[in-house]
């Protein structure tokens, strides 16, 4: 019985390499804003609101994509705060930089090309960490590693918000179809639903709030958590 329960909770593995992810997202960067539908953007905005960044804060976004949230955060932190971002794709970085420049926010933003598995920031540096539709791109053993890195770089009272496709609850048709596509086309469908709240908790965070949502019938979780109780 326990074995069956464990099987039911198994999430698909991700076998493409980080270099393959970089190539895919470099290619997608030019039209990513069109590809990411309104449903996805709506959930990202719920996450941004939950994180509730305020003036003077130092914020990190992991997998910032074309930089829409980087611009939002840079506006919220004001001239006394700072926003950092890390993304594996040079194409995404250059798109995001264009947006930041257009919004005249360059002074408040520092974007880096790199792998979130090993964050190039010192411990307890950030007030808040944000990531949307990126954690589910990492292979199963890498998910705790990314979250532990987030924990390391967050200040004592820091908070994290993760927006991600979710496997929580009853596994419905859409999850089954998506997981099938992920197995069949591991390079183009390189993400899959994960247990978001559990992963965040297992990395030592205290869950503050979880919202369950859906996009195109697929479940998602928006999890806000704190480093300290």
Binding mask 129-148 for ligand SAM (x = CB under 6 A): ---xxx--x-----------
The number of residues that bind ligand SAM (CB under 6 A) is 19
Which of these ranges, 2-10, 59-67, 100-108, 192-200, lies near ligand SAM under the rule CB under 6 A? 59-67
Which of these ranges, 63-71, 177-185, 206-214, 216-224, lies near ligand SAM under the rule CB under 6 A? 63-71
Q: How many CB atoms lie within 10 A of CB 134?
A: 22
CB of 88 to ligand SAM, least distance (A): 4
Q: How many CB atoms lie within 10 A of CB 226?
A: 16
- Sole binder of ligand SAM in the list 57, 72, 87, 149 (CB under 6 A): 87
Binding mask 6-45 for ligand SAM (x = CB under 6 A): ------------x--x---x----------x-------x-
CB of 145 to ligand SAM, least distance (A): 10
Which of these ranges, 82-90, 147-155, 170-178, 213-221, lies near ligand SAM under the rule CB under 6 A? 82-90
Q: Which is it for strands 154-165 and 218-226: parallel, antiparallel or unpaired?
A: antiparallel
From the list 13, 24, 36, the residue with the least C-alpha distance to 132 is 36
Q: How many CA atoms lie within 13 A of 201 on its CB side?
A: 8
Tell me which H or E stretch contains 92. Answer: helix 90-102
- Sole binder of ligand SAM in the list 65, 81, 85, 193 (CB under 6 A): 65
3-state secondary structure (DSSP) of residue 107: helix
The answer to whether 185 and 120 have CB atoms below 8 angstroms apart is no
Residue 216, both tokens = 């195109």
- In the complex with ligand SAM, the residue whose CB is nearer, 46 or 171, is 46
Q: Write the DSSP symbol of residue 166.
A: B
Q: How many CA atoms lie within 13 A of 215 on its CB side?
A: 20
Instruction: Please tell me the distance from the alpha carbon of residue 156 to that of residue 120, in angstroms, as a whole number.
Output: 19
CA 224 remoteness from chain centre: 12
Residue nearest to ligand SAM (CB): 65
Binding mask 88-127 for ligand SAM (x = CB under 6 A): xx--x----------------------xx-----------
CB of 131 to ligand SAM, least distance (A): 7
Instruction: Please tell me the distance from the alpha carbon of residue 154 to that of residue 159, in angstroms, as a whole number.
Output: 7
Where do contacts with ligand SAM occur on this chain (CB under 6 A)? 18, 21, 25, 36, 44, 63-65, 86-89, 92, 115-116, 132-134, 137
């Amino acid at each position: 019985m326990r074995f069956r329960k464990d099987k039911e909770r198994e999430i698909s593995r991700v076998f493409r390499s980080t270099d393959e992810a970089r190539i895919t997202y470099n290619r997608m960067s030019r039209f990513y804003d069109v590809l990411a539908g309104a449903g996805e953007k709506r959930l990202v905005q719920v996450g941004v609101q939950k994180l509730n960044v305020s003036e003077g804060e130092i914020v990190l976004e992991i997998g910032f994509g074309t930089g829409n949230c980087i611009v939002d955060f840079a506006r919220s932190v004001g001239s006394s705060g700072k926003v950092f971002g890390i993304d594996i794709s040079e194409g995404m970085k250059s798109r995001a930089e264009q947006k930041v420049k257009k919004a005249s926010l360059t002074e408040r933003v520092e974007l880096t090309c790199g792998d979130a598995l090993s964050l190039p920031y010192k411990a307890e540096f950030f007030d808040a960490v944000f990531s949307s539709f990126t954690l589910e791109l990492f292979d199963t053993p890498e998910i705790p590693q990314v979250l532990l890195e987030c924990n390391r770089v967050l200040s004592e009272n820091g908070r994290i918000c993760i927006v991600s496709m979710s496997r929580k609850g009853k596994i419905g048709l859409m999850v089954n179809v998506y997981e099938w596509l992920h197995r069949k086309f591991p390079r183009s469908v390189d993400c899959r639903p994960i247990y978001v709240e559990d992963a965040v908790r297992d990395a030592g965070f205290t869950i503050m709030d979880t919202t369950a949502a859906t996009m195109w019938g697929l479940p998602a979780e928006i999890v806000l958590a704190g480093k300290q109780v």
